Amino acid sequence: MKIGRVLGGIVALSIIGALFSGCGILGGTVSEELESLQGHWVDVNGDTTLDFNGNKMTVTSPWNKETYKVKISGADVKYIENGGSKNGYETGFGAMSSVSIGSDGILTAQEMVLDAEGHQFRFVREEDLDKELEIQVKDRDLPKTIESDEIVSFNLVFSNEDTVYDIPADEPWYGGYYSFAVEQTDEGVYEMSLHGSGSSYIILDYEGTVSEEYVKGLAELVKEQKLAEYNGWWRTNTEDFHGWSVNIEYASGEKILMEASGRAALECPFSIYAFLKYADIEAGYVDEMR
């Protein structure tokens, strides 16, 4: 059993307790707010479920099952809290924090972990799960033709936590958040950076100046990857995948904008690895790690 998961359950449970504390149970009767939560809820991002029966909430996860007495608290924002905590987690439920009740009726909680990124709990009614998982296509202004060849600003940001995209398994690009940027300063100098960080560690942190030839090569790579044809790509769903984004500006004022989040980020119409390799011509990260 992983400590992160165990703590995460505690956090999610805490969140749930917080939501119920304000209104709670009056004269032994279930409050109106608590009544609206009765029944079965499922986590969009995992296998944890919540079942409300009166003022009792049962949290079932792949590693544990426990029932809590709960209450609702809060004014502008409502929280479900642990109403009978005996373990010192006054608002927690196992590894889950107190649960926030959104204006849209969705219940959210955070996994309680230290020095790491915890699970994001997002509970919906089981009958609403398919709608939550559905990928929304919000493409706009697609495709586009770019006349300019002169890049003045390039930014690629992505998370490699949930997918390796087209990055070879034997390459040392470890799970984390990456950003590759090239910016032209007011003096006409090009500054380039390549950063990567995990939940509690730095993968790489490079900054330096690059030549005009290097930036011209980057513009050619953008053409090879046909990014202009995908300008306006915007796809998402509510699952907790981190995603990627591309933002390029040319001297002519023309721009390329693309982004994807949630499970939609698993579909990437260009090669992220190609840009990593090009960035590493300057950063030298892979050679250093071998």
pLDDT at 30: 66
Q: Which of 101, 132, 163 is the last residue of a domain?
A: 132
Please report, for the domain that includes residue 203, its CATH number. Answer: 3.30.1560
**Those residues with Cβ within 8 angstroms of residue 277's Cβ, 6 or more apart along the chain or in another chain:** none
* Alpha carbons 69 and 90: distance in angstroms, whole number: 12
* pLDDT at site 119: 80
Task: Please state the pTM of the whole predicted model.
Answer: 0.65
- Whether 47 and 79 map to the same domain: the answer is yes
Contacts of 75 (CB under 8 A, 6+ apart): 22
List, for the chain, all residue ranges whose pLDDT scores fall below the cut of 70.
Answer: 1-30, 85-91, 114-117, 141-143, 162, 239, 241
Q: What local confidence, expressed as pLDDT, does residue 114 receive?
A: 63
Range of the domain at 220: 137-289
Do 151 and 245 fall within a single domain? yes
- Exposure of 84 by Cβ count < 10 A (0-12 exposed, 13-18 middle, 19+ buried)? exposed
Does residue 166 share a domain with residue 257?
yes
- The CB-based long-range contact list for 278-282 (8 Å cut-off, 24+ gap) reads 278/217, 278/218, 278/221, 279/180, 279/192, 279/194, 280/194, 281/214, 282/192, 282/194, 282/206, 282/208, 282/210, 282/214
Q: What is the pLDDT of residue 76?
A: 82
In a shared domain, residues 177 and 116: no
Say yes or no: 197 and 237 in one domain.
Answer: yes
Name the domain boundary from 74, 101, 132: 132
Pair (141, 282) in one structural domain: yes
Phi, then psi, of 200 in degrees rounded to 5: -145, 25
Q: Are residues 125 and 200 in the same domain?
A: no
Residue-level pLDDT at 10: 37
